[in-house]
Structure 1
Amino acid sequence: MSTPLTTIGFDADDTLWQNEQFFALTQDRFAELLADHADKPDLMDRLTEAERRNISHYGFGIKGFTLSMIETAIEITDGKVPATVIGDILDAGRDMLSHPIELLPAVEDTLELLRSDHKLVMITKGDLLDQMRKVEQSGLRDRFDAIEVVSHKTPTEYADIFERHGTGADQGMMVGNSMASDVLPMLEAGGWGVLVPHGLTWALEHAKAPENHPRFAEIPDLSKLPDLIRRCKSAS
């Protein structure tokens, strides 16, 4: 590090707590509902296409996912999907909106270790009401200096957030499970990007790793983050 690290941003879903597993379970349920009309691989491809089309209209999150499932069901059945299936899809979406929060390993200890020397900012994208529900239920609200819920994670968004809550993106680090949303745009903004892979990651969040970038790192879990930061500081 040639400049000090003052502020650390954390993604929320599948970085601080489990999230994608609930989408996977709902996809299984969706596939069962439409098993007479399509096999699961084809159905999931069609659902992913619908989600990609709809991001600009519905944004990220469970509500947009539910609408994309309904749209896919209508397309797969040529408009003949029974109302009972639509009702079951809506029920599945409501179930997702009430799922309990399950913190990932080492989250609380890591935040406690880092908060004395750094500003901590939670930066999550999705539906505001749902994301704030998860923040409050997680019990992590008081561990962070700020909470930001954004529509998209872009280099400009990161630059603005780390300017408001820190000392600029060049003295900031973003930590998350998405290469496309957490790492690459933060690197472009001039900061450090740390990937913490999750076993389940949404297809639209995949991207090629910038292996030779001097400000990119990958760690297996959050327990390794304090050591990574210490090594970076000692090398500066």
Structure 2
Amino acid sequence: MVDYKNIKVIGFDADDTLWVNETYFREAEAEFSKLLSKYETPNKIDQELFKMEIGNLGLYGYGVKAFTLSMVECALDLSNKNVSPKTIEAILNIGKTMLNQPVEVLDGVEEVLEVLSKKYRLILATKGDLLDQERKLERSNLSQYFHHIEVLSDKKENNYSKLLKHLKIDLSEFLMIGNSLKSDVLPLVNIGAQAIHVPYHTTWAHEEVEEKEKNGKTYNTIETIRDVLNIL
């Protein structure tokens, strides 16, 4: 049984923990596949786009803008530079549509934040494009519950260690809650903090982990974010 009695600060992931995000990427990938259907099969298009995204992470980072640039680059590659300006425009419009999506706060989120904010210091730790994440946070009306908001370039052990050191948060007093084992749970467990996994029904392939990566790691997995209130 995981003991949370020493926890004073709770960190929350944003995308697919507080609000819907990955669903829009899957829809965008389907639209992209239709636009490029004359050049390749849907499966091949998906594979090549994923490879392009991963290859560009070091340059573009995460988020919709990075994804849009990768779609454009992938279209040029798959078409051997023959893709039309009209198709490029359509790809850019996919990205704009994603950026303009309404923010759909997940069920139970505000209730949980309201309860926990009265007992704990809450921080938001997310990755992605700064402007887009700030926009989503503003539209979500959830910023009132957080003492600190951090948009990280990545969510690895060193990123969390630097953040917690900067905020003067003791590892033994920190708990992270998020939907991604790779980004929100295992890095925290690996540096000596605690984490709770709240799975989301759609996960980007880059965020998936193998069973061996989870072996020997102690963390709780809950079905819905409301279940947090039953264990804290």
TM-score (norm 1): 0.92
How far does residue 193 in structure 1 lie from its aligned partner after superposition?
Answer: 1.6
Q: Structure 1 residue aligned with 2:114, among 112, 115, 119? A: 112
Q: Structure 1 residue aligned with 2:6, among 4, 7, 30? A: 4
Q: Does the 8 Å CA contact 1:166/1:172 hold for their aligned counterparts?
A: no
| CA distance in structure 2 between the aligned counterparts of 1:130 and 1:212, rounded to whole angstroms | 36
| Unaligned stretches of 5+ residues in structure 2 | none
The 5 Å alignment of 1:114-129 reads 114-129=116-131
How far does residue 3 in structure 1 lie from its aligned partner after superposition?
Answer: 6.4
Match of 1:60 in 2: 62
Match of 1:46 in 2: 48
- Indicate the SS of the match to 1:198: coil
The 5 Å alignment of 1:1-236 reads 1=3, 4-165=6-167, 167-208=169-210, 210-214=214-218, 216-229=219-232
Structure 2 vs 1, CA of residues 59 and 67 (structure 1 numbering), >3 Å: closer, same or farther? same
Structure 2 vs 1, CA of residues 226 and 2 (structure 1 numbering), >3 Å: closer, same or farther? closer
Q: Does the 8 Å CA contact 1:6/1:166 hold for their aligned counterparts?
A: no
Q: Does the 8 Å CA contact 1:121/1:165 hold for their aligned counterparts?
A: no
| CA distance in structure 1 between the aligned counterparts of 2:176 and 2:195, rounded to whole angstroms | 5
How far does residue 154 in structure 1 lie from its aligned partner after superposition?
Answer: 1.7
How far does residue 125 in structure 1 lie from its aligned partner after superposition?
Answer: 0.5
How far does residue 78 in structure 1 lie from its aligned partner after superposition?
Answer: 1.1
Structure 2 vs 1, CA of residues 136 and 67 (structure 1 numbering), >3 Å: closer, same or farther? same
CA RMSD of aligned residues (A): 1.4
How far does residue 185 in structure 1 lie from its aligned partner after superposition?
Answer: 0.8
| CA distance in structure 2 between the aligned counterparts of 1:224 and 1:87, rounded to whole angstroms | 44
Pick which of 190-199 and 158-167 moved more: 158-167
- Indicate the SS of the match to 1:167: coil
| Unaligned stretches of 5+ residues in structure 1 | 230-236
| Sequence identity percentage | 36
Residues 169-199 of structure 1 deviation map (CA, whole Å, 9 limit, x = unaligned): 2211111111111111111121112111111
How far does residue 166 in structure 1 lie from its aligned partner after superposition?
Answer: 5.7
Q: Does the 8 Å CA contact 2:123/2:148 hold for their aligned counterparts?
A: yes
Aligned residues: 228
TM-score (norm 2): 0.94
| CA distance in structure 2 between the aligned counterparts of 1:68 and 1:220, rounded to whole angstroms | 33
| CA distance in structure 2 between the aligned counterparts of 1:156 and 1:25, rounded to whole angstroms | 33
Report the residue type matching 1:189 in the other structure.
I
Report the residue type matching 1:213 in the other structure.
K
